[in-house]
Structure 1
């Protein structure tokens, strides 16, 4: 009887222990869920504080972190889209709204709000005045665009078999000071129309004959069509080398971007654009020409931080007069990848190539039946570190290689610069 009583007591103790353990485990799980919810609510509250203080970029960062922690918070995504819209980042706003529509069951009232922001409220990026200024220092391996090969060979039967170039015609490096100012001003009486202006300078330490100044004036227009967007831009540029005008051109670009499409955690869109560039050279009108480029484009935002942009298509260059080599045709391509490191800055890499082929021999007397094939390849890497909302530091390295079937026109340039930028 006593033995049975002891067994009963042991059984009772085990049952009580098991019940206590289960209760503690349930309480721990409940406390863990409550803790996560408290953290999420705190992120939401911090984002609201930053929004009220006008710190929209910080608010977006907090809301994105909230959605990453709890994907059910669709309202936070809507807040992100609205903040992007208020910052003038129309593309990012539309992409976020499209992701919200595709990934969540949206109530009718919210669906109407999304439609309102897509069609009426979220104005194009040029809807507020913008101004930026920068100054920096740098160095280049080839300030005068000179060739690295001092010898030029001619075709059999030419008056000369070869020629040695003067030292001044070869590549010479130099250091420089660079500066730029650019602004955008929306026209209130003309919706979606923005005036553009910019001035960029590069002053060399010693090779002042190759100092550069570029002045740009123009107008841009953007309008939504369905869920897509049509952009138009008309620019006039003047380039000075030293104290003389080297080139003037008028550039018109028209493009269409389709609606963004969500694929997994990525948003992408496709488009097409046409560029016409009429360039003339006051010092040598023989090279005046009209260039046309028809390109297809692909733009994607991968995850939360990476954006890629790709353009490719045929190109034509038609001379206004009897330019040696005649008309040119070929292709152009560019690839840009941008990585946002939030408060640690932004990294952007650009690769470009344009290849044009002459339709006629360049100079039969000196170069025989050679038709010029010129390929311009360029690459750059730019890092921007934000000091605050208005000020940032930048560093840029770039290289450009011009490869021509006539070596006289081939050269390579490598440059690097660093400076500070202010934006309004």
Structure 2
């Protein structure tokens, strides 16, 4: 199956006249004039138009993409990447005449490097046939890892229950303390466009088997539908998903989720994007119904895309409404995260992330036994490096550290894990 094109080839074309190295696949660049000159950067509003065009391409809304890219080119006639994207878009819409005109424009005006000429040649050879639905995308990963605390065992073996004269000091049995183990993991995801109007079907799966502590073996499955569209000048995306989780080969949890994300029509500095998101999820525990809950989340998201880097900053307010018999009752909290992705060199990528989640229960956790309202602070840090040693095949090494700090020592835990995986994508 012929892919649309490798996104970094567009960036290579844009940077070719100044001999810059290819930037990251998802990041933008600016075309240079065929004659020696400084790169031409579009104003913020025009760059938003270009990003909207690329987003429409990614979502399979080819008609919308063509309109947006045409409007952008009217304002930025020297942007090589926009010409190439528009040419391929017309080709996939079946408009061979217009596609060929634009391919020739790219060849004659921008003097593209070999990688780009190969992309153009491949589309010419395949012919410009109407393709209303993009190909599906796959990702499969298999790996081995080591976790210092598979069971999230308490970091302190001593704890106290009761109050006053009824207070009792106890020591946890070994089964509730941290247990280390090695594990094997298999993950997969499948994303398929369902139509040419921005609707995607999503399936994801995850299986983890420990070498010795099999009561902590897990498996999860998620299925969802996502739809993207423009409402006026707002870019929106809605997702509905259903998931289930298994623990020790028994159904442990079911979850239903609805999310809406919207980007307002506002001016941002070059490379930046801003969005709001609302999320509602309901979790059911078939064997522990007292822990059933519905969570509401309102978020703001800032995204930056540079030549080689991408950064996403998220802040959320949370409200968790639990079943009447759940210890501690309802909870309120917040969540924050920073995620960073970068291109290290040819075929090498790195990423890092830091998250923190805070929960505060409304009521005393367990009257007469644990006479405090539970307060939880969980911090997670991760870093990873990925190497594509063959097309569509990569090695992924990831380290993760989790620190859970609570005012109830029974629930505090620490863990760190290291995992090496091999990934196959779009095979």
TM-score by length of 2: 0.74
Cα distance in 2 for residues equivalent to 1:305 and 1:63: 16
Is the deviation greater in 140-149 or in 344-353?
Answer: 344-353
Q: Please, which moves more after superposition, 329-338 or 222-231?
A: 222-231
Rg larger in 1 or in 2?
1
Taking the aligned partners of 2:295 and 2:251, their CA distance within structure 1 comes to 20
SS at match of 2:15: helix
Aligned CA distance change for structure 1 residues 120 and 85 (closer, same or farther; 3 Å): farther
Kindly provide the CA deviation profile for residues 22-65 of structure 1, in whole angstroms up to 9, marking residues without a partner as x.
xxxxxxxxxxxxxxxxxxxxxxxxxxxxxx99763452342243
Query: For the Cα contact (< 8 Å) 2:32–2:78, is it kept in 1?
Result: no
Distance (whole Å) between structure 1 residues aligned to residue 91 and residue 318 of structure 2? 38
Q: Distance in 1 between matches of 2:92 and 2:40?
A: 18
Which structure 2 segments of 5+ residues have no match? 20-30, 94-132
1:258 aligns with 2:219: no
Structure 1 CA distance, aligned partners of 2:186 and 2:91? 36
1:120 is displaced (CA, Å) by 10
Does the residue aligned with 2:423 lie in a helix, a strand or coil?
Answer: strand
CA contact (8 A) 2:323 2:329 kept: no
User: How far apart are residue 225 of structure 1 and its match?
Assistant: 3.2
More helix by share: 1
1:363 aligns with 2:366: yes
For 2:164, what is the secondary structure of its paired residue? coil
Does residue 258 of structure 2 align to residue 249 of structure 1?
no
Name the residue aligned to 2:408. Answer: 406
Work out whether residues 200 and 215 of structure 1, in 8 Å CA contact, stay in contact via their aligned partners in 2: yes
CA distance in 1, matches of 2:90, 2:248: 48
Superposed counterparts of 1:4-403, under 5 Å: 56-57=6-7, 59-66=9-16, 68-69=18-19, 71-72=32-33, 88=58, 106-107=76-77, 127-157=134-164, 159-188=166-195, 191-259=197-265, 261=267, 263=269, 266-302=270-306, 304-368=307-371, 370-403=372-405
Segments of structure 1 that go 5 or more residues without pairing to the other structure are 1-51
RMSD over aligned Cα, in angstroms? 3.8
- SS state of the match for residue 58, structure 2? coil
User: Do the aligned partners of residues 116 and 161 (structure 1) sit closer, same or farther apart at CA in structure 2, a change above 3 Å counting?
Assistant: same
* C-alpha separation in 2, matches of 1:138 and 1:288: 31
Check conservation: 1:354, 1:377, Cα contact below 8 A: yes
Q: Deviations over 1:191-248 (max 9, x none)?
A: 2111111111111010011011011111111112344421111111111111212211
Residue 341 of structure 1 aligns to a residue whose secondary structure is: strand
1:71–1:115 CA distance, 2 compared to 1 (3 A): closer
Residues matched between the structures, number: 358
2:110 aligns with none
Contact 2:225–2:240, Cα closer than 8 Å, also in 1: yes
Q: Give the superposition deviation at 1:387.
A: 2.1
CA contact (8 A) 1:274 1:295 kept: yes
> Mean Cα displacement is larger for which, 320-329 or 207-216?
320-329
Deviations 1:238-280 (A, max 9, x none): 11111212211111111112358563xx411111001111001
Does the 8 Å CA contact 1:258/1:269 hold for their aligned counterparts? no
